Structure 1
């Protein structure tokens, strides 16, 4: 059989994480097809490495995992180079970007198939069909182009996660020593990235997860998660875990059961949650989670404006009042709440957009007053093609459009769009974007993130002193002195660079 090359494009410059998505695909074909992994985070010239593999004549299938943002910078030119030099290779992309933007990906001519969501069944079945010259039209979770038309097959039910094979870490170690994947972070000296579930049971209209999973969620059991964590600790020496689930805390029972199992293993960990979900957790559950090593939790606060929360279709009971109350509640358990806010959502007039931005800037200050330890992450609203949502329909009516050519996605402007820093939306003016970014600069000056482990106490005091007067007086314009220090000291922004 032809061999398979799996590519994880670069996503970060300094911090390496286990390429879980592509490793999950490797697990699905383990003992069925020979495979290799090329990790763009660990290669100085991944394109040449890939071309060298293809030059052997043994590899016909290439699987790329592609998230919006930095991964496109490698994925697009490398895919183009591969197709120019090795026309008979079969290119298969998976991940949020190709699933949400399938037309522009397939129209490029570089990509032959898209795995639309989990590929645990779709990917190996597609390889089998191609190897045997059999039909693939009835495979689920597949998008492809035929006779000039895009074909999107039916979605598969989410697989029982406990039934999946374990990730082949030992095989990854053959290509790249595992030690480099266990980095020093705020959580620990040897931090490991792990997925314990897929999907999310909610339908937020600004979230790229929603079109893929359609409000579905499946998780590994607490005992499976614990056994994996214990293996990672004993085999690879991990002392901290980043749970990269879209929503780790959906089930109170699962999290509490896991906490009871891991509490004596001296592991520190982080995960993502919803405020209105965890606000229903018992005090005893939150205490158990903290005792088990949970140090910080990422929450999508998004806005303190109840009208905007409804516009975003948060899919629950979250309110501005609850956001502040829950931040205050978390002080009791010594768990750091990491709140993300999305500013610049669409509105009928620019005056209303500006009012919303001003409202949330003041609201963020209220959150910090209630619990100064709350980490604040600020995004600017970037549209996601969520078909059927009122918010996206409003976006389209405004005249916004995504790039029609794949190469345009790696222009500086659209890369900023993917990072949710400069969304290119018609209802936002340059002054509005400047106000958001300048407020963020001052806020990060007065409250430097605890996750930046390189920022010394002396540097923290110096930048806090500079930002304090601006913050109290609401003087956010032209904070050049703070930006200069952040640039010189290489201040880490967790929303872009992680921990």
Structure 2
């Protein structure tokens, strides 16, 4: 009874991707422990599938990858049901949610251990200790309960990513055909999701990555990334790549090396970056990246207000002026910049909060003016429990608190919170939230995202016509006609639904 079941809870109703996080854990125990994967995206009844394995009596260990938002909807009730029926199993959660909310997870009574960051060593070492009845207190990257208290072990240095074992794609294919995970998107007919690095070298106070990686970043070499992508392209026909790294473009040399390797493969791709990092790239580098098939890059613009950028601890050298200048610079390379903005940051008075929202709306319109092709993603500020963060201390002082029980996290309000659409913060009034949402509706009406491949040219012209006058005269209230068209046409919002 020492087999391992790895579960990837549902994250999308369609267009789901290769479960890289849980597959990474599978690679860490492959050859040492027998393992199976259950993907909640592919199963009509994942609990029944999991129980069919557990009822054999051969499985003792369960590893769940749990990100904030939709994955909690399956992870919480399924974990609870498993512990009720199979109490002797060992439940291990990994991912941003349990790492950032360890107490509420462990207080639930049905999660035994949390992997706090990368599990490449922590997970197999924990299994070895439990199998051999040895202490696990000195295993790095663990969080668990001992004598009623939460214990966190020290963090492990980030591992050289090229030294890690290859992901077991072929074994995953024996559970779920790989082509199921290669979805049709704006990028291509068979889009591959891939992680080429972990962490980020910055400390933005609103980012869930920061408490886990603590401004550290490690990446696979360009050659290793190319080898993996090439393998999946040749074997299963992938023609596009979504790089789900938190920050793909940290290294200009690595990005350009990969671009030159992938160019002959004629694949299109997308990744995430910082504006102040890529603004330092040479023109020749940006040209090579575009020539290699990169169509769009996601940038965390966050705010055009330099004081707010400082409040967010954005770090680096990013400024409002640079955000606009860089959007204009991207035009000559034909790369679509996808800018995210975070509205509704805390301020001493409600008047200041509203003034900041108005400033960001005007700033977004300036960005659109210099480069209309810029994609705009709008979030409302959602607190992240970053220890030592001045901003988080301000948030707590203002009266904000996270749920005290794990079950409360799967209420509709808190799920929307994790998608950064419903902030549940005391300094934002309903009127302010409506202002943000209404502006977003009008903006998406006049500039519908290019990533919505179902929205044909006729529909685009119609909704742009309806939204154009509102946008021109700053009339954002009650955009019911635009909302109706978006609902009828099932308009996609990339920040919630991806490509």
Which band: TM-score by shorter chain? over 0.9
1: CA distance, partners of 2:345 / 2:484: 29
Give, in angstroms, the shift of residue 344 of structure 1. 0.2
* Corresponding residue number in structure 2 for 1:236: 236
Matches within 5 A, 1:365-384: 365-384=365-384
1:197 Cα offset (Å): 0.3
Matching residue of 1:312: 312
What SS is found at the alignment partner of 1:264? helix
Counting only pairs closer than 5 Å after superposition, residues 388-407 of structure 1 correspond to structure 2 as 388-407=388-407
- 1:26 and 2:26 are equivalent in the alignment: yes
CA displacement 1:412-454 (0-9 Å, x = unmatched):
1101100100110000000000000010000000000000000
Partner SS, residue 56 of structure 1 = coil
Cα offset, 1:53, TM superposition:
1.0
Q: Which residue is equivalent to 1:423?
A: 423
Deviation, 1:129, is 0.5
Q: Residue 163 of structure 1 corresponds to which residue in structure 2? A: 163
Deviations 1:5-58 (A, max 9, x none): 000000000111000000000000000000000000000000111111111111
C-alpha separation between the residues in 1 aligned to 2:267 and 2:470? Answer: 39
What is the aligned partner in structure 2 of residue 177 from structure 1? 177
Q: What are the ranges of 5 or more consecutive residues in structure 2 without an aligned counterpart?
A: none
Structure 1 Cα separation of the partners of residues 309 and 191 of structure 2: 34
Match of 1:472 in 2: 472
Extract unaligned runs of 5+ from structure 1.
none
- 2:235 and 2:127 mapped to 1: Cα distance? 32
SS at match of 2:342: strand
- Which whole-Å CA distance do the structure 2 matches of 1:282 and 1:181 have between them? 35
> Any idea what the Cα deviations from partners look like across 1:154-198, whole Å, max 9, x if unmatched?
000000000000000001011111111011000000100000000
Q: How many angstroms apart in 2 are the aligned matches of 1:229 and 1:58?
A: 35
CA distance, structure 1, for counterparts of residue 293 and residue 362 of structure 2? 33
Show the 5 A alignment for 1:61-100.
61-100=61-100
Task: Say which SS state the counterpart of residue 471 (structure 1) adopts.
Answer: helix
Q: Tell me which residue corresponds to 2:39.
A: 39
Per mean C-alpha deviation after superposition, the further-off stretch among 258-267 and 276-285 is: 258-267
In 2: Cα distance, 1:53 partner to 1:361 partner = 52
- Could you list the per-position Cα deviations for residues 196-239 of structure 1 after superposition, in whole angstroms to 9, with x for gaps in the alignment? 00000000000000000000000001111111111111111100
Matches within 5 A, 1:30-429: 30-429=30-429
1:186 and 1:276 map into 2 onto residues whose CA distance is 26
SS in 2 for 1:449: coil
Q: State the alpha-carbon separation in 1 of the partners of residues 16 and 396 from structure 2.
A: 37
Distance 2:450 2:466 in 1: 18
SS of 2:255's equivalent in the other structure is: helix
Whole-Å separation in 2 of the counterparts to 1:11 and 1:165: 26
TM-score by length of 2: 1.00
Query: What's the secondary structure of 2:64's corresponding residue?
Result: strand
In 2, Cα distance between equivalents of 1:73 and 1:462: 37
Which whole-Å CA distance do the structure 2 matches of 1:483 and 1:205 have between them? 33
Greater displacement, 75-84 / 227-236: 227-236
Taking the aligned partners of 1:100 and 1:246, their CA distance within structure 2 comes to 17
- Provide the rounded CA distance (Å) in 2 between the counterparts of 1:73 and 1:480: 30
CA–CA distance in structure 2, aligned partners of residues 176 and 233 of structure 1 = 17
